[in-house]
Chain A
Amino acid sequence: MSGVFSPTRAKIKERTLRTDKWWLQPLLTFSVLISFVIYATFRAFENDNYYKDHLISPFYSPCLSEACVPEATINGFTPVSAEILNFALSPALIILIFPLGFRMTCYYYRKSYYRSFWMSPPACAVAEPHKKYTGETRFPLIIQNSHRYFFYAGLVLNVILTYDAVISFKNPEGEWGHMSVGSLVLLVSSTMLWLYSMSCHSCRHTIGGRLKNFSKHPVRYKLWSWVSVLNHSHQQFAWFSLAAVAFADIYVRQVASGAWTNFYFF
């Protein structure tokens, strides 16, 4: 017997005496994240419906495979073979490791999935079901310490997705100065990704958090202060950006498959 049932502790047979709906939050988190994972997996392997008239899905950008729709590439830059071991490689699979890694190692998402998927713990003051616990001291969870590298990769992707949002201000004929619902969707998606990245704890550390003397680095202190303000809302940006990226992909897919028409404001 360990934990709250250890022999020296007060003898209480319940795993928790909480009377509120403590299970609701992990259940909601689990449901939303698993839905996203299922959808993202389906889309990553679909290898279709990711480009239409200067709109490219964020799941497929940058499109680096030789099999990419030519218009979806960055100036025809396709360094990756279309097939690996006779397996048709979806362009999404080449790049999704970076946003996936960024979110998997994110300090906020770690809290979310440790609670909702691994129940370690399911909620505060609710006894977890595991007999042993070593935290993030061993493989594979020690990899969580690489979060900053995924953050750097995420910044590169953000630049590319912002470029995609800018490109979407063209009409189907390729003329600039036109805005559609798709432009707005990609603009919101890339903006949310920037907010999510810039509010990241690794960003906060890199930009100034590691300093011992703020007074000797006034510019970095100012930047750290701004990032700290964003950092308060990191959880919100994590969810909003996830929803925005998923919706952007759904929108492009629907437009590319012909199910929806991309309405142009001007």
Chain B
Amino acid sequence: MARNIKLRIWRGDSTDGGLKDVVVEANEGEVVLDVIHRVQATQMGDLAVRWNCKAGKCGSCSMEINGKPRLACMTQVASFGEEETITVTPLRAFPIIKDLVTDVSFNYKKAMEVPAYEHPANLAPGEARMEQIDVERSQEFRKCIECFLCQDVCHVVRDHEENKKSFAGPRFFIRIAELDMHPLDTLKNRKKTAQEEHGLGMCNITKCCTEVCPEHIKITDNAIIPMKERVADIKYDPIRWLGTKIRKREGL
């Protein structure tokens, strides 16, 4: 059954902006992205909003709904109270372009800084074989849809613009973890660079990235903390360090 709901939508650009109140019809089963589209179609023709699949798989419609980073296409209108005003703003960690659209190019720059997988020199393409149990652990990280909600909520850059140059963010820590746990990756010093170049040590594991992940990837428990422990192996554990020097091997 259709009902009218109250929305507050942030409108503006890099020079100025503010929250605008609007009342719009919402039908049963609709999500926030549906009602934003209805506002765009009926009341605010020039409202800028980024979207694509409407199925929670493309990661385009990331925004903040009642202050929480979420996918608008996966947020049911019915999850809010009937009298509640739903406040919709752009992601607050990235530069604003217009209305609900932000410039997320920070993430693409960081993606380019992560060294790619390095194949063993003695294995020709097609010769590589891996056991399922070796693949499973990093498969979880491949679920990432690059919505960048984790990057948005991470206080290291959200609350400290100056850290952006030295901090890759949770999305790229899972990428680094995925590669470091890859049985065939031969790149040396991935752990060292994770700490010294990508800012792993800046993370204080407050788990907000895990809380907002729409794919329910255990970013902190399965990627960041294991990477912190791997870094401790080579940088902060003298006994372990000595062991690797004697046995001459980095990983097992």
Contact = CB atoms under 8 A, between A and B. Distances in A.
Given A135-B204, A148-B229, A125 B159 contact: no
B161 A201 contact: no
A145 interface: yes
B252 A217 contact: yes
B153 A120 contact: no
Interface residues of A, number: 54
Interface in A188-230: 201-202, 204-205, 209-217, 221
Given A114-B204, A133-B156, A145-B235, A125 B64 contact: yes
Interface string B219-252: 0110001101111110111000000000000011
A114 to B, nearest CB: 5
Interface residues of B, number: 65
A92 B119 CA distance: 54
A81 B134 CA distance: 53
A214 B133 contact: yes
A110 interface: yes
B137 A214 contact: yes
Contacts, number: 172
B197 interface: no
Contacts of A142: 201, 236
A27 to B, nearest CB: 16
Contact of B203 (A136, A212, A217): A136
**Main secondary structure on chain A at its contact with chain B?**
loop
B47 interface: no
Given A10-B17, A11-B18, A134 B96 contact: no
Contacts of A214: 131, 133-134, 137
B218 to A, nearest CB: 9
A239 interface: no
B127 interface: no
B158 A4 contact: yes
Interface of B: 10, 12, 14, 16-19, 64, 66-69, 84, 87, 89-90, 92-96, 102, 131, 133-134, 137, 153, 155-156, 158-163, 180-183, 199, 201-208, 211-212, 220-221, 225-226, 228-233, 235-237, 251-252
